[in-house]
Structure 1
Amino acid sequence: MELELRHLRTIRTIAEAGSLTRAATLLGLAQPALSAQLRRIERALGGALFERGRHGVRATALGELVLERARIVLPAVSGLQQEAARFARARREPERLRLGGTHGPLLGALVDRLAEAVPDATVTTRASWSERELAGLLAEGRLDFALAGTCGSAAPPDATQLVWREIAVDPVFVMLPAGHRLAAADEVGLAALAGEDWACVPGDGCFADCFTAACARTGFAPRRMYETDTASCVHLVQVGRAVGLCRATFPTTPGIATRPLAGTPLVWRHVLGWHPETQAPDTAATVLAEARSAHAGTAARSDSYAHWLAGNDRPPAP
């Protein structure tokens, strides 16, 4: 007789019950049938597993060895069965992709790419300015994937629990009113903007500190920073209230010129995150590939970024 998982479960039940009578009741067997099964198991393993007495049964040394192994094997097999069932169920059910992202053209471009790559999937989105909030939603299982960003080489949030993969690294550009004195320049030095007010979208990373440090290196401190949504930033720049900071992929917008900052003092690293225990590797690979294609498309649609890329051998290092 070959040992099977059911035999290990029987041994475990006898040990936990403390008697063959109680174990037989728990297993739904007659006691003589359980005793006969135990004898067959003992013959297969080469010795007695339990000592029988007036007060029940007690594991022998061989029995303790088998029980120790059973305590490892049975939960492992149960976990495997549950994981396989979840995976199979996910493959059978219509796919659903819940995407999160900071506001920007990349999120919309990714949705467009996925509509073609996985046409049967239902795609929903949730936008947030907070990378930490997006990471929390991933960890809680309320999002499947999140598009986020970090300033330079800063680590994404919750990097020990989540998987983050780089999509691309962009220079940070400046948004100027179309009539600004520097709007026609090929690039703009930070020092030339020392007297300006600034506009930027909010966030909870280190970008604001990095910007302040970059200004300090050129000899000035920013006068005022408006942290507000993208539409408001655009309006403040269009009316000449401020100059804005934006990712190089910012789309061409009437009344605004986007220009690179001389020396690329600031860079933005786009990353895609997910929880490794909730996403199949092939799904994650598909979404990551489409995110990178979506970024390439948004970069190509930005005239100023395409011009910058043509004059630079490679994207900026984080």
Structure 2
Amino acid sequence: MELELRHLRTIRTIAEAGSLTRAATLLGLAQPALSAQLRRIERALGGALFERGRHGVRATALGELVLERTRIVLPAVSELQQEAVRFARARQEPERLRLRLGGTHGPLLGALVDRLAEAVPGATVTTRASWSERELAGLLAEGRLDFALAGTCGSAAPPDATHLVWREIAVDPVFVMLPAGHPLAAAAEVELSALAGEDWAVVPGDGCFADCFTAACARAGFAARRMYETDTASCVHLVQVGRAVGLCRATFPTTPGITTLPLAGTPLVWRHVLGWHPAAQAPDTAATVLAEARSAHAGAAARSDSYAHWLAGNDQPAGA
């Protein structure tokens, strides 16, 4: 039997799981089938890779040697596959340009698609949405996305900033969403401390926003009573029916039954960023997409009355 990459992945899974039973579950195999496969692999490599005991398996000296090489070979092959995909994408002819865009929740992804349809009429644009900035970064690294719209809380670094290029689109204050009948809905701005008794609704993310919000509440003298982390439509519903107040980006579109207001002192900010892999994109393509993303944000800011009022009162251009 010749050793294959799948055999190395099997060895790695057994070592990480610590037992054949758990490894079989992870690999979707019956334990007898996995045991038989392991015996074939061990014969091909010339000796036992694992010692079996009452508490699971432990790598032998030969097993440690193979695992050490596996930790080098598998990532190298994965990187080769990713580089090949990026190389193939980068050599596409301009007249057949295809742009695969990813984005987190928010109005910018749709606006960017609309603007690119006008700026690059020959391009084929597809989209993929995710609440996870890290997932989007992984898809960029794997060559499965060309560009990703994401965001970070404050000055936090975007994911995988070592290998990917991230460029700032804009920085916005975080606003609060209140039901139209809320006692504070007519205010020009809201002190965070005035909302101490409220429940909260927010869309999920894997950055530091939740920690920053908790810290802002602590500075305001309270701890958030309850946090509903859910999709945008559910957040809107919870606010509309008065079950919670919400946190949103300042560009959040006008929505019936909801008032969006700035938080006094701007305790939280959100930085919009556009990411891509430098080996996969021509500089002029990246420059075009970035320029259109910034225009899309400016358009979203102009359509928000509450954001326009805030900008006028703070004497700032949108996204400054």
1:68 deviates by 31
Do the aligned partners of residues 41 and 117 (structure 1) sit closer, same or farther apart at CA in structure 2, a change above 3 Å counting? Answer: same
The answer on whether the counterparts of 2:132 and 2:205 sit within 8 Å (CA) in structure 1 is yes
Q: CA deviation digits over 1:197-236, x for unaligned, max 9? A: 0000000000000000000001000000000000000000
The answer on whether the counterparts of 2:87 and 2:279 sit within 8 Å (CA) in structure 1 is no
The answer on whether the counterparts of 2:50 and 2:63 sit within 8 Å (CA) in structure 1 is yes
Q: Which runs of 5+ in 1 are unaligned?
A: none
The answer on whether the counterparts of 1:171 and 1:316 sit within 8 Å (CA) in structure 2 is no
The answer on whether the counterparts of 1:170 and 1:315 sit within 8 Å (CA) in structure 2 is no
1:103 deviates by 1.1
Do the aligned partners of residues 281 and 78 (structure 1) sit closer, same or farther apart at CA in structure 2, a change above 3 Å counting? Answer: farther
The answer on whether the counterparts of 2:49 and 2:60 sit within 8 Å (CA) in structure 1 is yes
Q: CA deviation digits over 1:65-84, x for unaligned, max 9? A: 99999999999999999999
Do the aligned partners of residues 304 and 9 (structure 1) sit closer, same or farther apart at CA in structure 2, a change above 3 Å counting? Answer: closer
1:183 match: 185
Aligned to 2:207, which of 205, 208, 211?
A: 205
Distance 2:225 2:32 in 1: 89
Distance 2:69 2:151 in 1: 47
2:5 match: 5
Q: CA deviation digits over 1:19-44, x for unaligned, max 9? A: 99999999999999999999999999
Do the aligned partners of residues 57 and 4 (structure 1) sit closer, same or farther apart at CA in structure 2, a change above 3 Å counting? Answer: same
3-state SS in 2 of match to 1:58: strand
Normalised to the residue count of structure 1, the TM-score between the two structures is 0.72
Do the aligned partners of residues 78 and 298 (structure 1) sit closer, same or farther apart at CA in structure 2, a change above 3 Å counting? Answer: closer
1:314 deviates by 2.4
Do the aligned partners of residues 2 and 168 (structure 1) sit closer, same or farther apart at CA in structure 2, a change above 3 Å counting? Answer: same
Q: CA deviation digits over 1:46-81, x for unaligned, max 9? A: 999999999999999999999999999999999999
1:93 deviates by 3.0
Do the aligned partners of residues 58 and 118 (structure 1) sit closer, same or farther apart at CA in structure 2, a change above 3 Å counting? Answer: same
Do the aligned partners of residues 221 and 300 (structure 1) sit closer, same or farther apart at CA in structure 2, a change above 3 Å counting? Answer: same
Do the aligned partners of residues 313 and 65 (structure 1) sit closer, same or farther apart at CA in structure 2, a change above 3 Å counting? Answer: same
Answer yes or no: is 1:218 the counterpart of 2:220. Answer: yes
Aligned-residue CA RMSD (Å): 13.0
Q: Which runs of 4+ in 1 moved over 4 A?
A: 1-92, 315-318
1:258 deviates by 0.1
Instruction: Compare CA radii of gyration and give the structure with the larger one.
Output: 1
Q: Percent identity?
A: 93
1:313 deviates by 2.1
Distance 1:199 1:20 in 2: 43
Distance 1:35 1:152 in 2: 51
Distance 1:230 1:236 in 2: 10
1:132 deviates by 0.3
Distance 1:246 1:240 in 2: 16
Distance 2:281 2:314 in 1: 37
1:295 match: 297
Q: Which runs of 5+ in 2 are unaligned?
A: none
2:54 match: 54
